[in-house]
A and B are shown apart, each in its own frame.
Chain A
Amino acid sequence: MKLIQKTKRTYILNSIIIFIVSTTVIYFTLKNIITKRQDEKLLWDKEIIGKKIKYDYPLPIFDVEDYESKIPVNDTVYFKDTLIYQVINGAEKYEMYRQLTSIETLHGKTYKIITRSSDVKNQDFFLAITVSVGIVILLLIVTVYFVNTIIMRNAWLPFYENLEILKNFSVENNRPIHLQKTKIDEFQELNQSLIKLTDKIKSDFTNLKEFTENASHEMQTPLAIMQSKLEMLMQSENLKKDQIHQIKAIYLAGQRLSKLNKTLLLLSKIENLQFKEKEEILFNDTIERHLEIFDDFLLNKKIRVIKNFATNPKAKANPLLFDMVISNLLSNAIKHNVEHGNITIVTNDLFMSFSNSGKPLNISSDSLFERFKKDSKSPDSFGLGLAIVKKICDTNNWKINHSFIEYQHNITIYF
């Protein structure tokens, strides 16, 4: 849930409760006060009637019930709310009355005095007060709500913009991040911390890259010494069989190490965007050239190549990197092919795809492009070929994907 939504929700919920409670309180307080007043008035009236009976005896205007036949009643006074049937302007209705019933003994005679006052007027009155107070409260709540929303939106706007900027942040490109300025101290502080943090990440990343590159470079010379010494050793006469085996094992290990080193260097160079120059590349020509280079490998596995080329599709890329893409894809298609298999190459302006017959993968299509992920058990393969291809695609904003359908691996690059 968004912060704004969360606060809005809490606000609305609390406002409703406050509104209900406050109007109820107002209603009952008013009602209480007014009923008290009314009761006082009724008592007062009753007193006057009582006095009239006392001094202006008898009083004929009132119906006086004869209580004589009944059991003498104690003096009582009680209030109650009652409905009285009335016909006003030809309309029948029941109206609410507040009624005071009092039974009193005056001059030795028992009187029942009932005084009533209409509730209608009073009820209308305190309803009107309650409603108007309620409206004022409601208006206040609504106004505060809208003002708050506007303030919140303005205050949070730079925050969301900055969030968007951060989402697009990448350590790999060298653009510094430009965060929106805000007048709110907390956000300003956050921005400063973020700028510091991203700068730190970037410099760490650059250091790491430089370290990888330098380490790889530094490794080249010792590797060269190892390899040349071994090659000299191989020239010696009268080597024993087990010596030969050991020399060969060291030699092959050295070869693998230097291959790995070269590949890592290449990857870091691609990452460092050291291949900047781009030119228009006719990729049919590049593919044909590589098919010729890989001729022996294709023949060795008896692989049939099916070409489905559009006329002169082209793309803008660094020629060296493009060569690498083609040679990696092609060697991949050969390496993971079966004897008497096939390779289908499709090119057009939108995409280029390499399909080859082969066995299903043991790893997922996505991890296929990760470094050191390999499906084959071959110890000579590092699982870096497709990682290089992916890296090149990434730096050129091309999309690459792999699929396996009917025993055909398919790698497609969309330009």
Chain B
Amino acid sequence: MKLLIVEDEIELLNTISKYLKKEEFVCETAKTYFEAEDKLASYKYDVVILDIGLPDGNGLDLLKKIKVFSPESGVLIVSAKNSLDDKLKGLDLGADDYITKPFHLAELNSRVNSLIRRRNFKGNESIVFNEIEINPNAKTVKANEESLDLTKKEFYLLLYFITNKNRVLTKEAIAEHLWGDNIDLVDNFDFIYTHMRNLRKKIKKTGANDYLQTIYGLGYKFGE
């Protein structure tokens, strides 16, 4: 998978590309409108992560160009403005998703992955992690060839963990992924444990490994 990250903040650009490279994505970067335009004209990308606030041009204009150069690329808009106008405009111009700064890297990764799944396989491909298999479209999970009966929240929790496998995920990032912006309004994340515990129990019952680890002081990690 080939990604183009367009972002004028070098530090942010480096971090994003470092995080996503670990996911076996090929990441190219562009710091300016000009550079991005140049790269877009020469290569094809599966996903473009596009910051619309560029110093030498509007990201929305670049979006129009992407739709001309390579209409099959997925576009994820990154914006510092949590403004509905930009969001609607971006989505109208053919962007696939929209994320506001500041964001969790795991969230960005999960959005990119779901974008790729939607684009390339029309969502029918399963994600396999050892003995666990998830079908994101059908929303079914198999562990050790046995179907798991998961609640909606447990399903998305597992999908999030597998997408960000071998990564430390904070409670805050998990909560925000599952409950969206509303999580801002609540001061107690205790209920996450409940979902986590239930999910673990259900996986273990099939005889599959318990890949969920608690990382001291930080959060959780799914992996060997």
**Which residues in A have some Cβ–Cβ distance to B below 8 Å?**
217-218, 220-221, 223-229, 231-232, 234-235, 241, 244-245, 247-248, 251-252, 254-255, 258-259, 262-263, 265-266, 269, 274-275, 290, 293-294, 296-297, 299-300, 320, 327-328, 331-332, 334-335, 378, 380-381, 385
9 closest A-B pairs (Cβ-Cβ)? A331-B185, A224-B102, A220-B80, A224-B101, A244-B217, A223-B102, A296-B191, A220-B101, A228-B15
Point out the residues of chain A lying under 8 angstroms from B101, CB to CB.
220-221, 223-224
Segment of B103-111, B116-124, B206-214 in the binding face: B103-111
Chain A residue nearest to B81 in the complex (CB): A217
Q: How large is the interface on B (under 10, 10 to 19, 20 to 34, 35 or more residues)?
A: 35 or more
The stretch from B24-32, B61-69, B125-133, B164-172 touching chain A is: B164-172
Min CB distance B14 to A, Å, is 9
Tell me, rounded to whole Å, the shortest Cβ–Cβ distance linking A299 to chain B: 7
B218 near A258 with CB under 8 A, answer: no
What residue of chain A has the Cβ atom nearest to residue B170's Cβ? Answer: A251
- Which B positions have Cβ atoms within 8 angstroms of A? 9, 11-12, 15-16, 18-19, 80-85, 100-106, 153, 167-168, 170, 172-173, 179-180, 182, 184-188, 190-191, 194-195, 216-219
In the complex, chain B residues whose CB is within 8 Å of the CB of A229 = 11, 15
List, sorted by A's number, 6 A–B pairs whose CB atoms are closer than 8 Å.
Answer: A224-B102, A228-B103, A248-B218, A296-B153, A334-B186, A335-B185
CB distance from A109 to the nearest CB of B (A): 128
> Contact at B15–A299, with CB atoms within 8 Å?
no
User: When the two chains form the complex, which single residue of A234, A263, A335 contacts B170, counting CB atoms closer than 8 Å?
Assistant: A234
Residues of A within 8 A of B104 (CB): 227, 231
Contact A269 B218 (CB under 8 A): no
Kindly state the separation between the CA atoms of A269 and B81 in the bound complex, as whole angstroms: 11
CA A380 – CA B182 in complex, angstroms? 14
Q: Which of B11, B19, B190, B217 has the most CB of A within 10 A?
A: B217
Q: A300 touches which one: B106, B185, B194 (CB < 8 A)?
A: B194
A225 to B109, CA, bound (A): 16
On whether the beta carbons of B102 and A220 are closer than 8 Å, the reply is: yes
- Please tell me if the beta carbons of B9 and A221 are within 8 angstroms of each other in the complex: yes
A223 — nearest CB in chain B belongs to which residue?
Answer: B102
Q: Is the CB of B191 within 8 A of A258?
A: no
Task: Determine how close the nearest CB of chain B comes to the CB of A277; give it in whole angstroms.
Answer: 10
Given contacts A262-B184, A297-B191, contact A225 B217 (CB under 8 A): no
CB-based contact A294/B191 at 8 Å: no
The reply to whether B184 and A259 contact each other, CB–CB distance below 8 Å, is yes
- Across the interface, do B185 and A385 meet the contact criterion of CB distance under 8 Å? yes
Query: Residues of B contacting A380 with CB < 8 Å?
Result: 187
**A265 close to B184 (CB less than 8 A):** no
Contacts A217-B81, A262-B82, A293-B182 known; A226 to B153 CB distance under 8 Å? Answer: no
